[in-house]
Structure 1
């Protein structure tokens, strides 16, 4: 074990700290939106990518120089497995893509910190926050096909399912209006069919995927306001 270069140690520690802060900010945005991967996941990914990059820049096993490009390639391929873990498909709706992309970007920001490109890492973090927290909600307010769609909900009566659906919609920035409701006869247990119009918020498929997991929900189907093109 050689003598510690304290100046270099301080510089590298600052890089790891910067990776934790930048990626932690990205994770904070995800956590505030109640996503699975939050501050801890993003910060750890960024720190790990930063540390791998620093290690790749150091001489190892008696070699005269490290191989940062090979380490970087392994980090990029390895982070894909972690990102895939937050993506899932439910009733044709894919969820978790933005979080997975954020984890992938966290690795890139961590690698930039490890390489000493702190300013670029900071600018990239700021761009991420602007795109996800700023531009995203603005795009959701643009007119789209979802405004012409309704959702037919079928659920078991007496479990408070509709209340939970409307609460989930509000948390996802949707406005809800019940178009019709009827009790399905001859079913045991008793089932209710409700048609709801949801406006604003995320793509309607994301909401359908969310409410499909609510206890008591039998089905959630998107269909056109003109009762055509049922999905």
Structure 2
């Protein structure tokens, strides 16, 4: 063995690791951006979950690409750098499945599960030094999540509205919310309350109303009630009740 080459190889390995830190940094920043949007909406998986998923995916990619470089050329050993990356795609499905909940005849958490899956892809892209693709996909995510509710408002049936409302418990806001709805000539046909699934200090209220003309105006009016944390269409696939 050439003992002189051992310190040189060690120095190269350390320099390679430090050179890959920008990939991890990019994955962390972009993943936190996606997670912040989810957390701002009060969803189950927030900044921490998305940041860990993106950062972990980037590290897996880097290990897949560079972690076995010292074994290349060794007799009897063959490496496929894509194997670890492929396992990330499969493994992230278990985390996403834990976020999806079926309750009250509706599926909840699909969008959040999809955002975690997308964050893993963003982390993998960063780990692969595909920064432009990672940035574009992150921007596309925000485009989708902000344009989606606007389209829902435009396509929501006239004369009916189903809202999912969240507010802090103990403030007596339900009376104010009902007053706002009825004052706009809406008639409440169904109302259901329950403790928020992930934030015990909050109440999740489902309200179905009929007879009005502008469901978008109704949603804005309820959202303007002081103390209400979030309002969304109850048939949205990612309601966090």
TM-score normalised by length of structure 1: 0.67
- Which of 33, 41, 59 is the matching residue for 1:25? 33
2:151 is the counterpart of 1:139: yes
Offset from partner CA, 1:133-189 (integer Å, 9 cap, x none):
x212211220323x33366xxxxxxx989944875x9xxxxx7335269xxxxxxxx
Please name the residue that 1:69 is paired with: 82
2:69 is the counterpart of 1:57: no
Question: Aligned pair in 2 of structure 1 residues 165, 19: CA closer, same or farther (>3 Å)?
Answer: farther
Q: What's the secondary structure of 2:26's corresponding residue? A: helix
2:133 is the counterpart of 1:88: no
Select between 195-204 and 38-47 the one with higher mean Cα deviation: 195-204
Alignment of 1:167-178 (within 5 A): 176-177=181-182
Q: What's the secondary structure of 1:94's corresponding residue? A: strand
2:10 is the counterpart of 1:3: yes
Offset from partner CA, 1:109-133 (integer Å, 9 cap, x none):
100011111111111111111111x
- Which of 120, 125, 140 is the matching residue for 1:112? 125
Give me the CA root mean square deviation. 3.3
Runs of 4+ aligned residues of structure 1 deviating over 6 Å after TM superposition are 159-162
Offset from partner CA, 1:45-84 (integer Å, 9 cap, x none):
0000000011011253953175331111110000001011
Q: What's the secondary structure of 2:66's corresponding residue? A: coil
Contact 2:160 2:209 in 1 (8 A): no
Please name the residue that 1:12 is paired with: 20
* Distance in 1 (alpha carbons) for counterparts of 2:113 and 2:34: 12
Q: What's the secondary structure of 1:176's corresponding residue? A: helix
